[in-house]
Structure 1
Amino acid sequence: MNFTRTVTQNNRKVIKRILKETTLEDLNKIPQGFSNNIFWNIAHIVVTQQLLVYKLSGLPMYVSDEMISKYRKGTKPEGDVVQKEVDEVYELLDSLLIKTEEDLTAGIFKNYTEYTLSLGTTLSNVHEAIEFNNIHEGMHYGYVLAIKKALKVDK
């Protein structure tokens, strides 16, 4: 699990740097040919981790229902976000990983509702969910890079 944790932490560092270095205007822009923006992809990462790890384990999530409804699979941006929302997601990128690690150590993950991904693979336990989450975050990091390129954001 140490390798998986390290990958997750490194993914989040890069994503946090993008949030910090990209203007609010560019975080909100949706380039032609895309259905979402940089911020949506990053907030989606936060929400998906909570759904895969906590909800499917039958545990309370640490993000609001409003955030889940705005950034879950199948949604798209419905307006510009403000800096307060960016700051919240920036903090959640670290705090939720710390909380997940604490909860894993405490052994609270007792149950898991199997979930079959669109790829046809079935997640059967929280450890598989955490491993898959890294793949999911990597995919959305790729979308973020593609959006940055389309916007010609150099940082």
Structure 2
Amino acid sequence: MEKQFEILRKTRQFLISLLDGLSLEQLNKIPQGFNNNIIWNAGHIVAAQQGVCYRRAGLPLIVDEAFFDQFKPESKPQEQATEAEVAQIKKLLLSTIDDLQRDYENKKFSTYPAWTTRYGVAINSIEDVVSFLDFHDGLHVGYAMALRRCVNS
């Protein structure tokens, strides 16, 4: 599992570097043909991880409920993110991986229910979830990269 956590951290560090290179206006812009923006994708990565790891396991979220609701699956940006919110998202991108790894090592997810993702991936354990997160995070980093091209033009 160490490798899966390393991949999550590297993917999220890459996303943070992408965020650092953009203005608040660029992070919040929703280009024509899209229904979200770069900062929503970053927040969504955190919220989705909280939902699939903690909520599905019957454990309390590490992030507050308002943050989760703002970025959960099927949500869309409702307001412009502030500099403080961007800083919070950047911090959470890494701290929630540290929390997840610690909780995994402490066997907090010993009884994890089976389910199937919207992509048809069968999840039978927390190990499956962490592997799936590598895919999910990469997917949303890809969206953020496509959005960056749109907001830079």
1:9 is aligned to: 9
* Amino acid across the alignment from 1:112: Y
Residue 121 of structure 1: how far off its partner (Å): 2.0
* Amino acid across the alignment from 1:148: R
Deviations 1:3-38 (A, max 9, x none): 211211110110111222211110000001111000
Distance 1:92 1:40 in 2: 13
Distance 2:118 2:80 in 1: 29
Distance 1:76 1:97 in 2: 23
Distance 2:94 2:81 in 1: 20
Residue 115 of structure 1: how far off its partner (Å): 2.2
- Does 1:51 find its partner at 2:44? no
SS at match of 1:57: coil
User: TM-score, length-normalised on structure 1?
Assistant: 0.94
* Amino acid across the alignment from 1:144: A
Give ranges in structure 1 of 5+ residues lacking alignment: none
Q: CA RMSD in A?
A: 1.1
Identity %: 31
* Amino acid across the alignment from 2:8: T
Distance 1:140 1:147 in 2: 10
Give ranges in structure 2 of 5+ residues lacking alignment: none
1:128 is aligned to: 128
SS at match of 2:30: coil
Deviations 1:28-76 (A, max 9, x none): 0000111100000000000001111111111111111111111111111
Structure 1: 4+ residue segments shifted above 3 A? none
* Amino acid across the alignment from 2:17: R
